[in-house]
Amino acid sequence: MAEKSKVIFTTLLIEKSPQALPLGAACVASAVKHSPLTKDIADVSLVPFCKEDSEFIKHSATDDDAASFMASELLKHNPAIVGFSIFVWNRIVLEKTAAVLKSHGVKCICGGPEVTADPSSFTGFEKAIGGEGEYSIPHIVYEILTGKKTAPSSEEKNYEDLESPYLDGTLDPSEFEGALWELARGCPFKCSYCYESKGEKKVRMFPMERIEKELELFAKKKVPQVFVLDPTYNANKNRAIELINKIAKKTPDTFYYFEARAEFIDRQLAHAFTKIPCSLQIGLQSADPNVLNLVNRPFNKAAFLKGINCLNQEGAVFGLDVIYGLPGDSLAGFKNSVDFAISQYPNNLELFCLSVLPGTDLHDRAESLKLVWESHPPYHIIHTDKFTNEDIKKAEGIAKACNVFYNDGRAVPWFNSILHALHMKASEFFVFFYKYMVSHNIPSDCREHREIEKLQIQFITDIFTQRKMERMIPLAQDIISFNGAVSRKIDTGKSETVQLHYPAEYIDSEYAMDLQFFVKNVQKRPSKFTT
């Protein structure tokens, strides 16, 4: 039997985490491993790189250095073909890596979201493949290795025929301390800024038999967290609840992250989400229906509020997303969206700059919508007719402040109470805190919660003092310290004791939601609280 040719699939990850594991490259590698065309002629392996790895950092002072390092590592395997999974954040380095490999006679092919958006722009590769690579890349690998042409099947794509990269061992979730779990592809919505904007308005589900086997694998490996890849997990409520029940039975200790539409959530589904450790991420994007209409994103505010109310009443954990720089929006409009989002008590609020991605409907209409954006990845908006470049920078500051103070600061239990006492909107608060960050040289990647808690207490003390609200400072400090200790106990399991100015039972009550009422009616009495 002839020796198999080495075929490598690779990508460059931002970080080594469940969210960033090389699922796309792994799926294609599995397909080539098992395809009747290639299984006997290709020796397939997955060789991803990560920007956080010490060796990569040591050799990546520039993109050229990084490409040289990656190419030298790949050449050690003596590959005949290298397939690249390309995204917005790694395109430049991977194109340079392919150029080095080509100079050594290696055939390079590519796929992934960035390629699907505009295959013709990838001129440095033997083949640039758009769409779902599992169906086309085995044919391309076969043709490159044998020199013979194949006739791709015209049958409708069937996910029952696809191998799971987890089940065949191509991808080990233990290596990444979690998993990206693909339940479906496609989206019933066609938001203009998304890669799905030009695809079929169709959702195709992976078979439940495969899903159950992957669940069993996650249970066997004790996978701690799973990020679910299904852009509208709750589009089919019955299937969503059925799967939650299976998750609860097979992996009760694993934490799951879902993407969902608030408009489709009722009490039954909200209650189901409380039966497993999980969090939902919900795309608001903007609170202005006119702005959302310009990007073809339907928004029923009444239904949205009803769904969020169900989540809050049932105690489900959820976060919201908002985008700045959308066509038709302004800095004032973005601030209104931030204020609306915070008023819904999300566990986290992610604020993103709009990217005008090649191959999307928004990219096609960008000039008519008066958008100016970066010509290189990540294609961020520079300005619009209503959102100046200076406004974009201000929105970015709000995003950084929100991430440090609200998200990483775990402020959701008490943040709106502080705003109410200050008679201040959330966006205004974040503007002030960002100025504080800049003046005190506080990095936007400040992550350690105890350190952030100190910042929160100092900032709140300063702003209450400026507004001559000193009476409320001890209470505010207690609320922040109490909730911080509780959150760390939940996070780490370690107990700690905090010193309070007021009795702990009052701090942990609805009275503390109204600071002005509290200080008028509750006497100070120093106490200790142990989580």
Q: How many domains are there within the chain?
A: 3
28 with 78, same domain: the answer is yes
185 with 156, same domain: the answer is no
13 with 43, same domain: the answer is yes
382 with 425, same domain: the answer is no
Domain that holds residue 257: 178-387
Please state which of the ranges 97-101, 186-190, 239-243, 335-339 shows the lowest mean pLDDT: 186-190
Indicate if the pLDDT at residue 447 is higher than 80.
no
37 with 95, same domain: the answer is yes
Q: Tell me what pLDDT residue 376 has.
A: 85
Q: Tell me what pLDDT residue 154 has.
A: 57
Angle at 179 between CA 177 and CA 181, to 5 degrees: 170
Burial label for 383, CB within 10 Å (0-12, 13-18, 19+), is middle
156 with 25, same domain: the answer is yes
Residue 143 resides in a domain: yes
Average pLDDT over the chain reads 94
Q: Tell me what pLDDT residue 487 has.
A: 94
Residue 431 resides in a domain: yes
Task: Name the pLDDT band for 48 (thresholds 50, 70, 90).
Answer: very high
What are 130-159's pLDDT values in tens digits? 989 999 999 999 999 999 998 766 556 778
Helix H segments across 180-256?
A: 208-220, 237-250
Indicate if the pLDDT at residue 386 is higher than 70.
yes
The CATH number of the domain holding residue 77 is: 3.40.50.280
Q: Tell me what pLDDT residue 197 has.
A: 65
What are 265-315's pLDDT values in tens digits? 999 999 999 999 999 999 999 999 999 999 999 899 999 999 999 999 999
Q: Tell me what pLDDT residue 118 has.
A: 83
Q: Tell me what pLDDT residue 114 has.
A: 86
Residue 402 resides in a domain: no
State whether residue 124 is helix, strand or coil: coil
Average the pLDDT over 235-261 and give the result. 95
125 with 208, same domain: the answer is no
Burial label for 388, CB within 10 Å (0-12, 13-18, 19+), is middle
Average the pLDDT over 449-466 and give the result. 96
236 with 104, same domain: the answer is no
How far apart, in whole angstroms, are the C-alpha atoms of residue 116 and residue 95?
Answer: 15
Name the pairing type of β-strands 371-373 and 381-384.
antiparallel
445 with 372, same domain: the answer is no
373 with 431, same domain: the answer is no
Indicate if the pLDDT at residue 1 is higher than 60.
no
Angle at 517 between CA 513 and CA 523, to 5 degrees: 105
Q: Tell me what pLDDT residue 240 has.
A: 94
Residue 353 resides in a domain: yes
Please state which of the ranges 218-227, 231-240, 384-393 shows the lowest mean pLDDT: 231-240
The CATH number of the domain holding residue 206 is: 3.20.20.70
Indicate if the pLDDT at residue 87 is higher than 80.
yes
Task: Name the pLDDT band for 508 (thresholds 50, 70, 90).
Answer: very high
